Structure 1
Amino acid sequence: MADEESGRFVAGQTALVVPVPEAEAVVRPWRDRFDPAAPAGVPAHVTVVFPFLPASLVDAATCAALDEIFGRHRSFEVRFEESGRFPGVLYLAPTPEAPFRRLTEAVVERWPEAPPYGGKYEPHPHLTVAQGQDDAVLDEIEAGLRPALPFTARVPTVDLVAYDGTDWLHRASFALR
């Protein structure tokens, strides 16, 4: 979820994420060391939109709209059986990825001013395990993950989180029906 160029977060940023508690036992040891979002309070997750709106613009009406948008989507089961990479990033790939894409598309349709990753990258559903590392480190992490794959998870909610300058704080959860 960090800005891929700086690895840093900006106070007032918000994000919409799907928490994946079933992944914690598998990825937490790696994320704590190699994903800046983990020690800042973000659980294992698949990002729906980051950055979302500035925290100062997220009000009761925004939350009501998010509740309505996400309420049109059904909860679903996802399987994590493979890892993948972006430059310097190791992630777990969710199958199917289409439900995550639909969630992202629904948010962007309502808030086109908040494209995923600020419009820098195409959205690609994934659960980040490590970032900002060279290939040798990612190879080691990937080898350590393999025995724990596959696992499945249920996706019943999307969470709104906000960065206060030190930590990512949970602001709201929106149920999928």
Structure 2
Amino acid sequence: MDDAVRAGLSGAADTALVVPVPEAEPVIGTHRRQFDVAAVWGLPPHVVVLYPFVSPGQVDDLVCRRLAEVLAGQPAFDCTFTETAWFGQDEVLWLRPDPEEPFRLLTRAVHATFPDHPPYRGAHGDPQPHLSIGTRRLGDLAGLRAAEEEVRRHLPVTTRVDRVALMAGRRDPGSWRLATTFPLGGAPD
């Protein structure tokens, strides 16, 4: 494992496999920093592939090689975020990806390769792919509804999904870092 990956994992307590969506930052970044703890921790706008993943101390050359192989077997794809949605009646505001199925296939493929690490520890069965904007836990409903109104005016957000990022950090502000990325099939290295 190279030094850059080691540095990305250093001091971390958790890892996650995510699809970063930098194109969403201008649209939702301000709202995420106010309402989404993952943004406070330092995670960019993203769709989760698998969280939690293996502990940082377990990430080694074999884990990275297995991830590279399974993800290279999944095709790159284009995705558009055209609408907002809510988990619970009004608990978590998020963007819906279109299409959703390629994200589900990424999650299933990685989970099949690492069966001891179910998505969200198995709490949600087949999890809904989403890009979180914020939770009511970090703000009031009126603030989230206002954020939703503003975000809707700037949709759609379009991205090319051609890699998955291994990120690592703690539940501390600014602690999450990129460890490495894995290209999907057909994506440039």
The normalised TM-score by structure 1 is 0.90
Deviations 1:85-133 (A, max 9, x none): 1131100000000000000000111111111111111311000000124
Which of 127, 133, 137 pairs up with 2:131?
Answer: 127
Residue aligning to 1:5: none
C-alpha distance in structure 1 between counterparts of 2:163 and 2:112, whole Å: 19
Q: Give 1 or 2 for the bigger CA radius of gyration.
A: 2
Distance of 1:145 and 1:31 partners within structure 2:
11
> Where do 4+ consecutive residues of structure 1 move more than 3 Å?
none
Unaligned stretches of 5+ residues in structure 2: 1-11
Distance 1:149 1:165, change over 3 A: closer
The amino acid of 1:175's aligned partner reads P
Shift of the alpha carbon at 1:40? 1.5
- Offset at residue 60 of structure 1 (A): 1.1
Aligned counterpart in structure 1 of residue 165 of structure 2, from 155, 159, 173? 159
Counterparts of 1:82-101 in structure 2, within 5 Å, are 82-87=83-88, 88-101=91-104
Q: 2 CA distance for matches of 1:137 and 1:89?
A: 12
Match of 2:4 in 1: none
Task: Structure 1: state its 5+ residue gaps.
Answer: 1-10
Q: What secondary structure, in the 3-state scheme, does the structure 2 residue paired with 1:148 have? A: coil
State the secondary structure of the residue aligned to 2:116.
Answer: coil
Could you give the per-residue CA deviations for residues 16-70 of structure 1, whole angstroms, max 9, x where no partner exists?
0000011111010101111111122110000001111111111111011000000
- Amino acid corresponding to residue 128 of structure 2 in structure 1: H
Tell me whether 1:170 sits opposite 2:178 in the alignment: yes
For the aligned residues, what is the CA RMSD? 1.2
**Corresponding position of 2:8:** none
Establish whether residue 136 from structure 1 lines up as the match of residue 155 from structure 2.
no
